[in-house]
Amino acid sequence: MNVGGSSLSLGSMLTGLMKVASIPLTNYQHQQGSVQTEISAYAQLKSDLSTFQSSLNTLTLAANFKALAATSSDSGVATAKVFTGAQPGNYTVNVSQLAQAQTLVSEGQKSVSTAIGSGADTTLTINLGTVGATTSKDDSGASTTTGGTADAEGHYADGTTFTPGGTSKTIKINSSNNTLGGIRDAINGAAIGVTASIVNDGGASPYRLVLTNSATGAAQAMQVTAKGDDAVGALLGFDPAGTQAMKQTTAAQDAQLSVNGISLNSPSNTVSSALSGFTLALSKVGATTLSVVNDTSTVESNVGGFVDAYNTLANSLSSLTNYDANDSSKNGILLGDSTTRDIKSALQRIVTGSIDGGSGLNTLADVGIGFSNDGTLAVDEPTLQSALQNNLTGVASLFGTNGTTTDNGVTYLNAGSGTQAGKYDIRVTQAATQGALTGTAAADLEKASIGPLSLTVTVDGTTQNIALPQKAYASAGDAAAALQNAINGNAAFTASGASVNVAADDQGTLSLTSTSYGAGSRVSVAGNGAQTLFGDTSVKGSAGLDVKGSIGGFAGTGSGQTLLGQPGTAVAGLSVQVGGDGTGPRGSVSYSVGFAAQLSGYIDNATGTTGAIANATKTLDTRVASIGKQITSFQSHLSQVQANYQTQFSALNTLSTKMKTASTVLNAQFNNTSKS
């Protein structure tokens, strides 16, 4: 548009005017971006706190300070793994015999693929059980034992007995598989726990079938019978108490060992019933000493991890709240934020505080942890190591939740999130007891020497058939020991955690007691062996009782020997194990909350759904939403402003056009007048 010789761009004018009008919108958007950046910073802070809290997990439970390490003076004989329940000390282990699985070998065959017999349908049965001997007495009362061991040729002599253990497996043989190779494949394909293989001994009839039980132990001896084709039975039959076509090259036997002079049998070379909290791995016959000590190196590493994690968190907090007087671009996102400042102060207040755990260790400085000049934590290793060596329980109390008791028969177990620190008296109104039974008559040792004994034993809800070999027992105590080993060595009982103690009184009457406590502790015996050893074909015992009592005056819930504080009380979740049969006052339990536990609890609160970070983030989210509404409203206002400008500029453009037309007319008139 030309007006009076000048030129005006309406489009440029509109762009410039709208740029000025949009300045408040830009400010709103900048504000919204700044708030969203703060929200992201809070997310980082929450993540950093959670990472630090993870480092506290190994220090919050007293059980983590009870880690033990076991070393063996001769690891070639035996090694050990230790778990909760093990006690530090030295243990002498003497292994006199390793457990092994039985192996049977057939007579040689000229071919692996030649048919054996007619191919008639045949059932090959493999029973597992115990090989025993026969003991008899002459007129003078002298005892004679025959059988029970294999000769140099791998065959058992007359007098040998076989007592099935209840496990029986069958394999079908017919014309499709009645070769040595076919029988091998049929046995392996049946997956019965017995492996078949073929060896070549280089002789005239070199191919021999070898059967090996996958399970070790004296109760895993094989009895092999064939019903159908006699030729199959003539090659593979093996009955320790009868015909033996195959020969034994390795006998089924238990491991025999002693721990601190106490004799034990185990069906496996991995022994978990010898000592509470131990698993022994036997490797060869011999003697070794197991030294079990507190594993302070693990605790020391956990403490170092805590210090490193705290310093990482402290550096992150410093970065988020940093102030630089010379360069504001280096200021932290949460500089001046009260929530972050409160969190930082609370963490420092806990770390520099003091607790009363009654252990002589009250501050982190007592174990060598203090602040360096740069504000980070550092560890004085000698001080920490000394504390770990001399007062490990105190270190546990300093960091985690821990309890100590004044009665030697009462053990602190655990506490809950609602347990309040304090000292609480313990009173027992009913001591926990074990399920037990006592025989109705003295054990008949003479009858036990005539034939094998079979019992059905139930312990804590698990029932198994237990076989005792025929044997001349020197005393009722010997019979009790044999029965105890047979029950505790049973794989099903071991898997369920059930075990027993069997004893004999002066009259030779046996008693059987579960090692567990409480209402679920129950024992019973039945069968011909029960009549021989306990005087009746079926003897049921009395069930155990759960402990009853109170902690700190609040009634507790009993389960076995464990007394647990009830919800809604100061001792909610606090549990102790009450041993012995004493009732009435049983001392007290003191519960403390150490530094790691305090820090972890504070972080739970700060990062929880109703915690400080969640509340601060919620406030910021509200601000973002509010600014968003302002932006939307102002954008609508800008649209109206732009529309008004466009209307005005349109009118101005129309006027400009008219003026230009008038100018053209006037110029024409002036030009014509000049020509005249």
Three state DSSP letters for 494-507: HHHCCCEEEEECCC
- Alpha helices (H) in 363-469, listed in sequence order: 381-390, 392-399, 445-450
Structure token pair of residue 135: 């003991």
The DSSP bridge partners found for residue 223 are 127
Supply the angle between the helices 296-320 and 338-351 in degrees, to the nearest 10. 150
Counting Cα atoms < 13 Å in the Cβ hemisphere of 307 gives 22
Which DSSP string corresponds to 541-555? -BPP---EEEETTEE
The model's pTM is: 0.56
Q: What are phi and psi of 69, to 5 degrees?
A: -125, 135
In a 3-state reduction of DSSP, which class is residue 421?
coil
d(CA 173, CA 605): 70
The distance from CA 636 to its chain's CA centroid, rounded to whole angstroms, is 61
Confidence (pLDDT) at 675: 61
Helix (H) or strand (E) holding 656: helix 612-675
Q: Determine how β-strand 89-97 pairs with β-strand 377-379.
A: unpaired
Tell me if 433 sits within 8 A of 426, measured CB to CB: no
How do the domains of the chain map onto residue ranges?
2-55+623-675, 68-98+256-294, 103-253, 436-540
d(CA 11, CA 17): 10
In a 3-state reduction of DSSP, which class is residue 603?
helix
Supply the angle between the helices 10-21 and 612-675 in degrees, to the nearest 10. 160
Provide, for the chain, the percentages of residues in helix, strand and coil under a 3-state DSSP scheme, each rounded to the nearest 5. Answer: 35, 30, 35
Supply the angle between the helices 338-351 and 23-60 in degrees, to the nearest 10. 20
Supply the angle between the helices 296-320 and 381-390 in degrees, to the nearest 10. 140
Q: Which residues of the chain have pLDDT under 70?
A: 1-11, 17, 62-63, 84, 166, 357-358, 673-676
pLDDT digits (tens, 9 = 90+) for 304-320: 999 999 999 999 998 88
The distance from CA 272 to its chain's CA centroid, rounded to whole angstroms, is 17
Q: Which distant-in-sequence residues (6+ apart) come within 8 Å of 527 by Cβ?
A: 454, 455, 456, 465, 537
**Range 16-22 contact pairs with CB under 8 angstroms and sequence separation of 24 or more:** 17/645, 18/638, 18/641, 18/642, 18/645, 21/638, 21/641, 21/642, 22/638
Q: Which distant-in-sequence residues (6+ apart) come within 8 Å of 152 by Cβ?
A: none
Q: What are phi and psi of 632, to 5 degrees?
A: -60, -45
- Work out the number of other CB atoms within 10 angstroms of the CB of residue 605: 12
- Alpha helices (H) in 408-490, listed in sequence order: 445-450, 476-488
Confidence (pLDDT) at 5: 40
The DSSP bridge partners found for residue 324 are none
**Residue in 130, 131, 127, 134 with CA at minimum distance from that of residue 451:** 134
In CATH, which of 2.60.40, 1.10.287, 3.30.70, 1.10.1660 is domain 436-540? 2.60.40
Tell me if 603 sits within 8 A of 46, measured CB to CB: no
d(CA 364, CA 49): 20
**Residue in 610, 624, 616, 600 with CA at minimum distance from that of residue 41:** 616
Q: What angle do CA 480, 506, 533 make, to 5 degrees?
A: 35
Q: Which distant-in-sequence residues (6+ apart) come within 8 Å of 372 by Cβ?
A: 378
Q: What are phi and psi of 118, to 5 degrees?
A: -90, -15
Helix (H) or strand (E) holding 36: helix 23-60
**Residue in 425, 424, 419 with CA at minimum distance from that of residue 593:** 419
